[in-house]
Chains A and B, each alone.
Chain A
Amino acid sequence: MFIDIDCSQMKKYNQNAYGDYFVSKRYPDEARLIAVLSDGLGSGIKANILSCMTATMLLQFIENGQIPIRKAAEIIMNSLPVCKVRRISYSTFSAIDCDDYGNAKIVEEGNPEFLWIRDNEVMTPEYETIQSKTFKNRKMKVYKLKLKLGDRLIFCSDGVTQAGLGGGRLKLGLRRDGLIVLVKDKLSEQADISSSELSQYIVNQARNIETDRHPKDDISACVLYFREPRESLIFTGPPYHQQKDAEYARMFDNFKGKKAICGGTTANLISRELNRPITMDTTISIGKLPACSYMDGVDLVTEGILTLTKTLEYLESNTTDIDNAAGKLVKFLLDSDCINFMVGAKLNQAHYDPALPIEIEIRKNIIKKMANVLQDKYFKKVSIQYM
């Protein structure tokens, strides 16, 4: 299974920093994912610092694997200080440690209870309560779940469940029941909605029920969706050993999933080996990138280095919906969960001629950087094969 995870957030009205903090990390070698959502006391910079410290510390405790998630959370719960002024906890948190096989361990302290949704019904998981030894009013819930394909987990900060509190229509706020109705309605309308869209939807809806649409607290929604992975393959650069062209072309052809080619020489290679003609887009290239080409059985064909460099730039700066070859490649990448790169190691000497008006990067380096951005920022699974 692939775990599609995303978190959407909104700041409290009139604040310039998020008071909730979300952090997640994927460990492709262990097929594991850890995510933490923390809500810091107060709002703005202070809350941001508190929640950020709690979330990152917890993530590091869990990822080291020296102590189980339950123990890690207990230590944090027992040691978090209390605000002198308000006499309440410094921050609250939810943490999840799960894997691709559907095993999940969850701990919650102070945050609203998460939702576990299967076949559009809310499940009621069993949990164990651990009372803090140092603070009477603190206790955490520990869950151990076995998830199935299609399951969703939704974590929220209290900004969601308390949205609209004291307002006209919902005197007690949205609450958990309201959130369940909202999520179920959306899921019956759009059963395979992505985590990014669903989390965005929850946050927007929560904001909409606030008086004057001004959030009275930081709003965060984190969604995990366990589903079949969407695989894609990107072939870029001619292989170092030319005699293996046919073999690599066959590998490319046999791949089940979406396919892209980045590079003129690579496109020619596939066209020659698979005997499929290439046609180039007749529109004049927009901006500084060559136009896309078309080939049967391939979803996207672009030029190589320039397009890849631009794509990396777009990914780093969160730029989407651009109508050029790099914009199309960004969409291609973001619409996939598992991205496989086949990177040819052959260099074209002409690219390193100092007379060229711009500097051209080495393909391997661009792909390495792109893989890191896709993993760290967009939570994709990436594999690279050099040829």
Chain B
Amino acid sequence: MDEKKISVKVCLGTTCFVMGSANLQELIETVPAKYGDKVDVMGVPCLGLCSIDWEFSKAPYVKVDDEVVKEATVEKVLKAIDEKLAQQEK
């Protein structure tokens, strides 16, 4: 089993913040409580995705390792983490 920690980066740039990443900040508290030290959650100043994704309105963005979660919600992010953990256990 791979012991590498999963990194979760919540974009707190302008677009993502107004589109709801302000509410995703609760992940910073809930994720460690749920997964312990298997997952690292942090806010980042900007993932730079809104300006290159020409569909724009997919903000807020969260990165779970290299996978981008578009229109992220707490549920979507938790699901992505679960999938990553399941993959690691295989």
Contact = CB atoms under 8 A, between A and B. Distances in A.
Query: How big is chain A's contact interface, by range?
Result: 20 to 34
Nearest to A350: B50
Interface string A277-316: 0101110110010110100000001011110000000000
29 contacts: A264-B44, A264-B45, A264-B46, A265-B13, A265-B48, A267-B46, A268-B46, A280-B43, A280-B44, A281-B43, A282-B28, A285-B12, A288-B22, A290-B43, A290-B45, A303-B12, A303-B17, A306-B14, A306-B18, A348-B14, A348-B15, A349-B51, A350-B15, A350-B50, A350-B56, A353-B56, A353-B57, A356-B18, A357-B19
A172 B43 CA distance: 64
Contacts of B11: 264
B18 A350 contact: no
A305 to B, nearest CB: 5
A123 interface: no
A73 B57 CA distance: 62
Contacts of B43: 280-282, 285, 290-291
B8 interface: no
A274 interface: no
Interface string B6-39: 0000011111011100100110110000000000
A357 B19 CA distance: 7
A348 B26 CA distance: 27
A263 B13 CA distance: 8
Interface of B: 11-15, 17-19, 22, 25-26, 28-29, 42-46, 48, 50-51, 53, 56-57, 59
Contacts of B17: 290, 303, 306
Nearest to A305: B14
Given A264-B46, A285-B12, A290-B45, 10 more contacts: A264-B11, A265-B51, A267-B46, A280-B45, A282-B43, A285-B43, A303-B45, A349-B51, A350-B53, A360-B14
B22 to A, nearest CB: 7
Contacts of B14: 263-264, 303-306, 348, 351, 360
A85 interface: no
Nearest to A302: B45
Nearest to B17: A290
Contacts of A291: 12, 43
A218 to B, nearest CB: 46
